[in-house]
Structure formats: structure tokens, C-alpha cells
Structure 1
């Protein structure tokens, strides 16, 4: 299916929220703060049969997050800057930089509101890391310190290419098969993930996917499926969003 196709009848397609960056940006004659996100995310949601809606970090309040989430059928926490290490009780590593307090607050509020109504969620890269932190987990702040190489994030805008193996019986295995040719761009990784099970690993045993148990679709992946033009995980999210929310207490 083309990433620019538009399947589904109006009114029947699930609405999927995508969290965004807030950065200095330039367009036309303007250079100022803007709410932005790589177009590949929205294209992948459209190709998977959903309707993408951007969710800028304009507010960190739980009330605002509840108002937004109540109008969504699914949520993507997108990639981006490092998570503030103070949120999981660590001092910043020398390579941990440029975290965004506004994004941390907003996306944590979105995750909390999504939990209340058991909304389907997919976390991508930073999104997976934030999901782990929201659950009380922690991160390794510089993965090369753990694995001894920089293949997970070679630098600048270059993506690492890793063959990731998946766990039998997992949602990620159902979507992607036994292995994934993953495009990675993460210098941090998940060290602990309470309430989740690890469901995919890189060749050097870094956790590359995690899922919550039960019927709810609640998954994080470290790689960037949208950049590989791979809509399998987005399709799985849209399918979960289409089938309706799981009643609270079903886990």
C-alpha cells in the first residue's frame, strides 16, 4: 500500500494523535518557534487507514491531556530529544543534552490520560523510553557505554541498521515477523521497564521493543518504522484503535 493512499470511508477511520516537537524552525520568511513533526509519521498513519492529528506540547496539564485523549482512538508518542534524567532519579550523563521539559510533561500527561481509558498507544524511540519512565523504569543514558559501539546511532542524521529479533507470541512478532531490519537512531536505551515484557532485541541484546501484557495495545519500539516506510506497526495500532477501547480492568 502506498504511503500516500487514503483508504476508508469518512467517519469510519480512527483518529490517531501524534505528539510533536516544539523547536525553532524556518519556513518562507519566518524563523520562530514552531510545532513540528516529520511527515513520515502522518503518512504512515494515513497509509495504515487512520487519520493523523498533531498534539503539540502547548500544555502539560492532565486536564488538557484528558480532553484531547477523550477525542482520540489511538496515540503515538513520537521520537525526539532525551528524557530528563531527573524524572527517573539519575544525574545527567555528559552526553545527555537538550531534554525538553515541555514535551516530557505533556507526553507523560497524555500517557496518564490514555491509561485511564485504556487507549491503544505506540511509542517510537523516545516514545518507548518515556513509556518506561512513566511506568517507574529507568534508562541507560548513553548506549555506547553499555555495548561498546555506536551502531544504534552513528551520528548526525544517519540511521543505524540492525537486525532485530522478536519474541514468539508477541504483538511485534505478529506485525513484523521473526526479525526486523530496523532503522535506529537512539543513543539511549531502556534499562528497566516495570509492567512491560521485552519483546525484541538487537544483536547486542539491547531491548528494542516492549509490550504491556493483556488485551490492550500498549507497545514501544526503539527503532523508527516510519523512516523505513514500514507501516506494519502503525497498521497494528490502527487496527487496535478501530476495534474499540478495551474496558478498564481488562488487563
Structure 2
């Protein structure tokens, strides 16, 4: 007997990297993502599905998703927000940029709940017309947000009372971060709901009744606290049950 759709875990799509990888006897390009994202979605009650940065991503082809996570990763091509590359800006990945901007556009058209993490929050801002600081240490004078290669920094995050994220995490929370870029001009329609002590924009929410939040930090790295992912999964389930 087929199960009721309301009993099925919400399907949460997660964007991935195309990177050289080695596994078994193979050395090849692969679509990869930190496992912590998958574990966080699963622990929150969702069914994680990897979305490669290739394919025809538009509303007509992603309607089977219940929610979307825009994951962290490489710097966005600066020409997308009208700037020339800074010396510290990473090598462009136009294929990934194109795929994730298309996925976000489709998700917004379908009113899919969206959680945008680190690079994902920057994608959200740029896609809606905002810009980025290409090298945040030049703005704040420290490397606290990216202390070393492959090392997460700790950021004390203040959240605006009444915001979605404050309702999930409280008005202050310690987060793990790893980024050298950050939001500069915030896009119309986005509301800044979280900042670090140095003023760096750390959280945004899209105006409207749907769930669309961005975090500059990495909630997936705290495996003991999946509250943000649980909020995404709840929003995905609520959307599915009301359609």
C-alpha cells in the first residue's frame, strides 16, 4: 500500500561542487559535497538529494523538490555584480554559478523554502541585485572570519528580535564561519537580520511569507545543533501539505 505523501520525508536538494576526486581506483571529476550537510538534513527529518552544477534547472524541472540548500564554496564571478576580480578572489566557476543562479530562480518561482549557506547567501544577494566585499579583511581589519585554510572561525552572531532566525536560534548565538567575502550592498527585498560584532552581515531573510534565509556561517558544521535545518524541513513539509 502506498504511503501518504504527508508521511514521506521532505526532499531537500543540496547544491554540489564539480571537483577532481579520488575514490577506489578512480581519479576523475565528481559532484561532491561535505557529508555534514547530508547528515544535518537527515537528522532534521529531511531526505537529502545532491544536485550537480549541470542540467536544465528551471521551475518545470525542479517541482519534485520540497526545499533547497544553496551550499558553501567558491567565490562568485565578480562580473555578476559589476566588479573586476580582486587579487584574492578565487578562480571563477561559471558552470556552478549558472546552475545555482538558475536553481535559486526556480526555487523562488515555486516558493520553495531556501536555506542559503555561506557562498549560498552571497548567491542569494547577488541574484537579487546586491554586491559583495571581495575581501572582507580589508573592510574589518582582521581575518577572524577565515583564520586559516580549512579552519573554521567562531563568530558571535546577534539576531534581530522577531526574525525567523531569531525564532529558531534565539537573539544571540555562536557560529562557525569560513569566508573571506561578505555582503556589501544588500539587495532590495532582503532584510539584514544578523550581524557579527565587527558589523559583517551574517544573516538575511527574504521579505514575504515564505522561508528564505541566508547564513554566512556554516550551521552544518555543528552536528549537535540542527535547528536551522529542522526549520527548513518544517517549512518544506508545511508547503507540501498546503499545496
Structure 1 length as normaliser, TM-score?
Answer: 0.91
Gaps of 5+ in 1: 1-8
* Equivalent position of 1:46 in the other structure: 42
Instruction: Select 1:213's aligned residue among 198, 207, 213.
Output: 207
Matched, 1:141 2:141: no
Take 1:66 and 1:117, find their aligned partners in 2: how far apart are those partners? 7
Is 2:163 the counterpart of 1:163?
no
By how many angstroms is 1:10 displaced?
8.9
Equivalent residue, structure 1, for 2:59:
66
Secondary structure of 1:123's partner?
strand
Matched, 1:154 2:147: yes
- Helix, strand or coil: the match of 1:49? coil
Moved more, 223-232 or 79-88: 223-232
Partner of 1:241 in structure 2? 236
- In structure 1, how many angstroms separate the alpha carbons of the residues matched to 2:109 and 2:126? 17
1:31 equivalent in structure 2: 27
Distance 1:57 1:42, change over 3 A: same
Which residue of 1 is the match for residue 226 of structure 2? 231
Per the alignment, residue 5 of structure 1 pairs with none
What's the CA shift for 1:99?
2.5
Cα offset, 1:28, TM superposition: 1.3
Structure 2: distance between partners of 1:65 and 1:94: 34
Alignment of 1:81-100 (within 5 A): 81-100=74-93
Kept after mapping to 1: 8 A contact 2:154/2:177: yes
Structure 2 Cα separation of the partners of residues 192 and 172 of structure 1: 21
Shift of 1:67: 4.0
Counterpart-to-counterpart distance in 2, 1:23 and 1:68: 24
Moved over 4 A (4+): none
- Which residue in 2 is equivalent to 1:175? 168
Deviation at 1:68, TM superposition (A): 3.9
Q: Is the alpha carbon distance of 1:54 and 1:190 closer, same or farther for their aligned partners in structure 2, counting shifts above 3 Å?
A: same
Report the Cα distance in structure 1 between the residues aligned to 2:110 and 2:60, rounded to whole angstroms.
12
* Equivalent position of 2:118 in the other structure: 125
Aligned to 2:194: 200
Cα distance change of structure 1 residues 158 and 103 upon mapping to structure 2, 3 Å threshold? same
Asked if 2 retains the 8 angstrom alpha-carbon contact of 1:16 and 1:74, the reply is yes
Q: Distance in 1 between matches of 2:49 and 2:70?
A: 12
Residue of structure 2 aligned with 1:80, choices 70, 73, 77: 73
- For residues 116 and 29 of structure 1, what CA distance do their matches in structure 2 show? 42
